[in-house]
Amino acid sequence: MEEKALLELKNIGKSFDKNVVHLDINLKLYQNETLGLLGGSGTGKSVLLREIVGLEYVDHGEVIYHDQPIQNLKEIDLFKIRTKISYSFQNGALFDSQNVFDNLAYPLFEHTDLSLEEISAKVAEILGLIGLEGSEKLMPSDLSGGMQKRIGMARAIILEPEIILYDEPTAGLDPSNTQNILSVMEKLKGTGVSSIFVTHDIPAALKICDRILILYEGKIAFSGSPREFIDSENPIVKEFFLNSIKEV
Ligand SMILES: Nc1ncnc2c1ncn2[C@@H]1O[C@H](COP(=O)(O)OP(=O)(O)OP(=O)(O)O)[C@@H](O)[C@H]1O
Ligand SMILES: [Mg+2]
């Protein structure tokens, strides 16, 4: 019997006025799988992640999570979904006027009944995981861009979601911060988490993803293992490779 997908996108279409971003998107994400979602700038990768967590409505098609359609849900129903499917924003999106502790504790106060003591322990644990232990009292402005991104990622994973959507978690980071983020992603994968990893970093995607997808002209133009991606004769894959080398 075929394994059931945890999350499935079926025939998704999305336009902003005349700008057709998604023509017909179909994809499946399985338990404990890491999907790499590649594609040129403006092809709709971030919009796709936002559609999954309901930050963007789709024009047609379905987002199925555990057999339930979750597209276009009302805010109150999305509240629950977002504890299970978490979106790690492209820019970290920290609250600038709150310190690291408050930024990380926020989802726990919002979605759990944990005591302050339990929340403090959880925050300390997650800071350890991302290699920023003891930084609870720092303000976002005290942190480098790379550290802010790591805190943003910590906030996305603190509720132990089933699915994590990473939107360019390593973009603009130095090699050491990049390595830190990738190793956290690998650790989480080891705990059974499923994820979609949007990135322009092809080597990173090849290293940690089980499957690579290319978004091109509103559709998933390629889906295959890292090996199949490298060996592909598909002209879209080849063009994508060439363009990404030119961008460097
Ligand atoms: N809220 C919005 N209103 C109108 N147009 C939007 C909105 N959000 C995104 N778009 C448009 O949708 C298209 C896809 O945007 P998106 O941010 O998903 O691209 P991307 O693939 O994530 O690009 P990048 O790699 O640069 O992050 C772009 O043409 C963008 O201008
Ligand atoms: Mg984007």
The 10s digit of each residue's pLDDT in 176-195 is 889 988 998 998 899 899 99
Ligand 1 centroid distance, CA of 219 (Å) = 15
- The predicted structure's pLDDT at residue 92: 62
Q: Is the pLDDT at 28 greater than 90, yes or no?
A: yes
Q: Which CATH superfamily is domain 7-247 in?
A: P-loop containing nucleotide triphosphate hydrolases (3.40.50.300)
Share above pLDDT 70 across residues of the chain, in percent, rounded to a whole number: 96
- The predicted structure's pLDDT at residue 75: 83
- The predicted structure's pLDDT at residue 90: 65
Rounded CA gap, 108 and 119, in Å?
7
In eight-state DSSP terms, residue 51 is H
Ligand 2 centroid distance, CA of 92 (Å) = 13
Does the Cβ of 46 fall within 6 Å of ligand 1?
A: yes
Q: Which of 45, 47, 202 to mutate to test the pocket of ligand 1 (most atoms within 8 A of CB)?
A: 47
Query: Phi/psi zone of residue 38: left (φ > 0), alpha (ψ -120 to 50 degrees), beta?
Result: beta
Ligand 1 centroid distance, CA of 15 (Å) = 10
The 10s digit of each residue's pLDDT in 91-138 is 667 899 999 999 999 999 988 999 999 999 999 999 998 889 999 999
Does the Cβ of 19 fall within 6 Å of ligand 1?
A: yes
Environment of ion ligand 2 (residues, CB < 5 A): 46
Q: Which of 4-8, 52-56, 92-96 has the lowest mean pLDDT?
A: 92-96
pLDDT band at 5 (very low <50, low <70, confident <90, very high): very high
pLDDT band at 11 (very low <50, low <70, confident <90, very high): very high
The mean pLDDT of 148-174, rounded to a whole number, is 90
- The predicted structure's pLDDT at residue 61: 97
Q: Is the pLDDT at 246 greater than 80, yes or no?
A: no
Q: Is the pLDDT at 60 greater than 70, yes or no?
A: yes
pLDDT band at 77 (very low <50, low <70, confident <90, very high): confident
- The predicted structure's pLDDT at residue 248: 52
Does the Cβ of 42 fall within 6 Å of ligand 1?
A: yes
- The predicted structure's pLDDT at residue 1: 59
Q: Do residues 182 and 197 lie in contact, with contact meaning Cβ atoms separated by under 8 Å? A: no
Pick the closest to residue 210 from 228, 188, 234 (CA basis): 228
Can you give the three-state secondary structure of 122-187, one letter per residue?
HHHHHHHHCCCCCCCCCCHHHCCHHHHHHHHHHHHHCCCCCEEEEECCCCCCCHHHHHHHHHHHHH
- The predicted structure's pLDDT at residue 78: 85
Ligand 2 centroid distance, CA of 110 (Å) = 27
**pTM of the complete model:** 0.92
Q: Is the pLDDT at 82 greater than 90, yes or no?
A: no
- The predicted structure's pLDDT at residue 104: 95
Average pLDDT in the chain: 91
- The predicted structure's pLDDT at residue 247: 60
